Each structure stands twice: as structure tokens, then as C-alpha cells.
Amino acid sequence: MNRPELLAPAGSLEKGRFALIYGADAVYFGAEDVSLRAKTAAFALSDVRELVLFAHAMNKRVYGAVNGLPRDEDLPIYQDRIRQLAQIGVDAVILASPSLIEWTRQNTALDIHVSTQHGAANAIAVEWLRGLGAKRIVLPREQTVEAISDLASKTQAELEVFIHGGMCSAVSGRCGLSAFLSDRDANRGQCAHSCRWHYDLCDDTGKPLTKRPFTLAAKDLQTLRLIPSLIAAGVASLKIEGRMKSIHYAATVTQSYRQAIDAVLAGRPIDVKTLEDRIARAEARSTHPGFLLGDPGENGLIKTKDLPRDANDFLGIVTAYDEVRRHAFVDVRNKIAVGDVIEAFRPDGSMFSLEVSHLENEDGVAMLVANVPKQIVLLQTKIELKPYDLLRKVKTWNDPY
Amino acid sequence: MKRPLWIAEARRPEELDELKRAGADGVVVFANPFGHPFAKGLALDEVCELKHRAAPSGLDVHAMIDGIVVEKDVETIANILAVFDAIPLTAVLCFDETVGLIARSRNLSIPVIYVPGSLLTNAKEADFYGRQGFAGVVAASDLSVSAAARLAEHTSVPAGYSLGSVALYRSKRKLITDNGVEASASSTYRLNEEKRPHRWFPIQEDDSGTMILRDRAVSIPRDIVWENLPFDWLFVWRGAMDFASFLSFFQQEREGRQ
């Protein structure tokens, strides 16, 4: 059976480590100044080096996105960045520009993946890109499973498909809203998410045709039920979007898809309900399977801004555990109080509840409440915690979607 | 210094004479079924008729194959290209490079010009497509005139620029229907962003999805010295304009640039 790679976002060195620990086979990051997250989630080269060392020690892979569309004056920066990534030892670069693909093939030994920005949606284009030196093509998000399967049967290139996360409502790379309305070029990493603003649809007299303004934004992609079909289609890499999202999101979503893929590979059914519930704990937006089953229609759109979900679910990260004193060292992300019953979530997917019986700061001063983000506190618990365990609230909420 | 050819979008054979009188060196038509929501495109026999009508006046005739090419479209495009090659048209324009690759794989001699919307942003990219057999490129529509001119100056490949009504957003989704309004091809729809109350963006959808256009037609700033523009073509797109408005816009741009 086809054993696809699970590819997760590394919005930072820390998020990349968590994605790898929580089951990703590979992670991708945005190279500084030259990716589609150029300003908000881009990596310094020193962090790239650390991430590569971390991933390679686990026999996993790291890909660098250099998928902005350079102007003439930007080209030397793009070429320098690609050379630097090659020297550091990333496993592949993700490129959108065919001339940069050609340049990279001629000047480095890097594997080349073609970004979804390029929009290759047929076998002729995919094979042409392979002929230019591309090893893998990231398909546009507007393909059905059937079309992906057909394409996979006609090419020797590896195909990568988005399985989860944010979706441009426009065809990737073909949206000028942000550049035109706010002078922030989405194709150079500055997208202002203008599709999430509110618009009125009017007739030619300016009379609104809808009851209320709506957004152009699409719901996030969620494809747990389609993992068996995508594996059967021969997809080489299943990609999670979300470099801008939290560690909690990266870990939870990656771990859930890890379980889904492993279930399929082991011939077991996917426990979709459990995994959907789990993902919903970390997902801030409503979800839909996108175009994979055909035109998503109105259910694929957000229309009005998502109701804000409780963002305080994620409480902290366990960085170490002192077995003698039975203290966990916790990097705090949201308020934790003595007496709280909280939940630990582990890289293997297991979860358990624990009561916070004692808290103290690093100077040994007892605390009733830890509520300073990024503060390291010692949390006493009878259950042994481990580095990379995540802590979150035990709670149920009514999903309005 | 080369003189750019003015190529105006035409939607019916009857429009040729007026476009010629307005100063067009050629016309471009969309080829059905690869038009877009504002321009359905002409059937093959209509393109043949238009070419026939253009012949006495010496107008060049280009055809545009719009949209991202998916697998099921490949044979249809190959057949259309074969017809255009036989007519022959002056050139085929394409939004997706696959059209040029199909022409090359079928050994067709019709020139193919790559017009990828926002993707073609530097001269090296233009050179690359020249080496791949494309007869020319059109610079990204979000480049300023001067940035596009720099691109054209530094590439060895014939290069053009888009004026008039340019697409801002393309989606496979049907944003009008999906928001509860029954979309009609004969109706005019406009989109207004809540914080920009006086700006109206034409929007339309068809089976291929939704297109949103800029609220203002792209024109060449008056302070740019015409003789310094190193383009081979200026393609002028009609978008949501009716023919009279488009003709007036075209004439104004063309006459201001004699």
C-alpha cells in the first residue's frame, strides 16, 4: 500500500519540533523574506539549522518554502536564500517560479517541490515541471479526489495534497485583493486576508442584494474521512496548512492525522468522530472537505465572521519533570490555578486528567494562580508528565457549527 | 524604440470596424468554452467569421484561452488550437502555460503568448518562457506600468502589458449563488467592501467560478513618456464595460498615446 508522508507546518522552531514529535514525517517552514509567510512566520537561518538537526536526528525531513513570486530586484535574495538552505541541509525547497526551479536545479542538489501557487492541475503541466527537475508537485486545492487519482496514474512525479487547514477562497496565487486594497502583496508573503473582510453584493444601482454583508472566505479544510481515498489515490504527501497557528493546533491536528493514516495503513477503520472532536479542541474556525468531493457550494464558505471560540483552552507545555519532587516544569500559555482539574495530551495521542495540587515559581515561591504567558512554573502532580506533553482545560463546549 | 501594438478585446465580429477606427492594431477574443464570467467567448465558427471579417482591414486576431487547465480540458484545448493553427490566427493567449505545452506537443506553429495574471513578475521568468517556446509574455497585472516596463526592457522575449478592466480575484467557487442570490449572466453585480463605501468592484460568476474585477480600469499614467515604454503589445480588456464605454476608454487611451 502507498505510505504517504504526513507533512505539517513549522511556523516557528518550537512549532516544528512539536509537529515532528506529534507524528509528522516532515515539516515545512517559510524562509525569511521569500515565502508566503514572509513577515509573520518566517525562519531565521539559525532556527532552520536547529530544526534540520532535530528532524534528521528523528530520521524525518524539513522543507523550506521559497514560494513568493520575486520581482527582478528580489531575485538575488531568493537565490541567496536557496543556496543557504542547501548549505544547511534542508531536504527540499518549495518553489512557485519555474525560472527559479531551473536555477535551483542548475545550482544546487536540492530536491524541488512545486508550490500550489503555481497551479499545476493536469498531467501535461505536472510532467513538464518534473522534466524541469521538480520531484514533487503540490496540487491546487480545487481538485477532487477522483481528479487527483487520475492525475497520479498519469505521472511519475510525487503529488502532495492539502488535507487540513486554511484555504484561499481564490485559486492560489491568483488573488490580488490584498495587494490592491491594502498594498500588501499576497504573492510576496504579505496577505492581509482581505477575503475575510465584509462585503456587500449589490445590483448596478448599489442596492444590496443580500440581507447582510458577507465574507469571501472559505471554511478551513478538514479531510479525516477522505484519508483512505487519498492514500488509495497514490498521493505521496498529505499536507497540513497552518504556519500561523498555535503549538496546540500543530500538535493536535498532526497527531490526529497521524492516527488516521496509521489506521488506514494497518487496515483499521479511522475513528473519525473521536479525531474530529479532538481537532475541534484546537481549531478556531469551522471546517469542510473543500473541493475534494466536488463543488463545496455555500457550505464551504464562512459568509459571516466565525464566532470566536474559547482561545484559552491551551494552558501550557511541559518542558521537564522532576521525578524526585514530582514536579512538572510548565511553560505557561493560559491561566492555571491550584485546584484546577486539567488535561494532559501526549504525542502518542493519549489523554488523561490531573488535578493541580500545588504551583510555585522558579524561585520556589508558592502560587495560587499562574497567569503570565511564557512563565516557567513548577506544577505538582501525582501523575508523571513528560517533556512535550501539552496541558489544556478539561471542558466541553457546544460547537455552534 | 519599438512601437507597441494595441490589441483590443472584441466580443462580436461587428465590433471590428469601430475598434479599427479607434486605432486598434488587432483584437483578442475569448475562445468558448474558455472565456470567463464576464466574457463567454466565441465558438470556433464565430472566431473563423471574425478572422474573415478582419482580413481586409489587416487587423491581427488573437484568441485567449482563459482559466486553469484541468485534465478533462486537455483534448478540447488541443482541438481548438488545431483549428486556430489552421485558420491561422495571429497568436493564442493563455492563462495557463499548459496551453503552450499542448501546442508544442502537437507540433502546432501558432504562436502562444503567456498571460498568467499575477504570476509573471520578473524578466528572468519571461526569458524562461521564451526558452520554453512561448512567443511572448504579458507582465503580471499587479505590476505598475514602470515595473512592467523594466521587465519588458530586460527580457529578450516579446512582452506586453494589460490595460483596461483587469481581474483582481478568481475563484472556483460561485460566490453570488452561494450567498443566496440567483446569478444571471445578463445582470450586473458589484461588490462593495464595508470600509471602502465609494468603491464598487464588478463581480460575476459562471460554471467556472467567480471573477472580481478592479474598480478602476488600468490606464497608462499621463506623466509616462510614451516613447519609453518598451512593450510589444498593449492588451486592452473590456471586463464589465459595455461596448460603447469600452470603445470610449480604448479611444481615449490610444489617442492620448499617438
pLDDT in tens, B157-167: 999 999 999 99
The pairs formed by A274-278 with CB atoms below 8 angstroms and a separation of 24 or more are A275/A224, A276/A222, A276/A224, A278/A252
Q: Do B173 and A301 make contact, defined as CB atoms within 8 angstroms? A: yes
Torsion of CA A164, A165, A170, A173, to 10 degrees: -90
In contact, A334 and A320? CB cutoff 8 Å: no
| pLDDT for A400 beyond 50 | no
User: Which of A41-55, A127-141, A309-323 is predicted least confidently?
Assistant: A309-323
Interchain pair A174, B102: CB under 8 A? no
Runs of H (alpha helix) within A227-285: 227-232, 247-265, 272-282
The predicted-structure confidence for B28-60, as pLDDT tens digits, reads as follows 999 999 999 999 999 999 999 999 999 999 999
Residue A399 has pLDDT above 50, yes or no: no
Helix, strand or coil, per DSSP, at residue A305: coil
Q: Are B98 and B111 in contact (CB under 8 A)?
A: no
* Pairs of residues, one from chain A and one from chain B, whose beta carbons lie less than 8 Å apart: 181
Residues B102, A124: C-beta atoms closer than 8 Å: yes
Q: Look up residue B60 and give its DSSP letter.
A: E
What is the pTM (predicted TM-score) of this model? Answer: 0.94
Give yes or no for a contact between B151 and A72, defined as CB atoms under 8 angstroms apart: yes
Burial class (CB in 10 A: 0-12, 13-18, 19+), B161: buried
* Residue B33, all three cell numbers: 468554452
User: Any chain B CB within 8 A of the CB of A173?
Assistant: yes
Nearest to B140 by CA among B126, B130, B128: B126
3-state secondary structure of A260: helix
Nearest CA in chain A to B188: A204
Q: Residue B255 corresponds to which cell in the numbers above?
A: 489617442
- Cell numbers 448599489: residue: A206
A26: β partners: A7, A61
Task: Give the per-residue pLDDT at A172.
Answer: 81
Average pLDDT estimate for A18-38: 87
**What mean pLDDT do residues A314-320 have?**
95
Helix A98-107 / helix B123-131 crossing angle, nearest 10 deg: 80
Q: What is the DSSP-derived secondary structure letter of residue B68?
A: P
Name A285's Cβ contacts closer than 8 Å, sequence gap at least 6.
A166, A219, A220, A302, A306
pLDDT along chain B (258 residues), means of 10: 88 96 97 95 96 95 97 97 97 98 97 95 97 97 91 97 95 94 90 91 95 93 77 96 97 79
ipTM for this prediction: 0.95
Secondary element (H or E) of residue B61:
strand B60-65
Count of alpha carbons within 13 Å of A125, Cβ hemisphere only?
27
Contact A266, A1 (CB under 8 A): no
Beta carbons of A154 and A233 less than 8 angstroms apart: no
Beta-carbon separation of A171 and B171 below 8 A: yes
Name all contacts of A314-317 with Cβ < 8 Å and 24+ positions apart: A314/A246, A314/A247, A314/A248, A314/A282, A314/A390, A314/A391, A314/A392, A315/A342, A315/A391, A315/A392, A315/A393, A316/A370, A316/A390, A316/A391, A317/A247, A317/A388, A317/A389, A317/A390, A317/A391
Residues of B in contact with A295 (CB under 8 A): 172-174
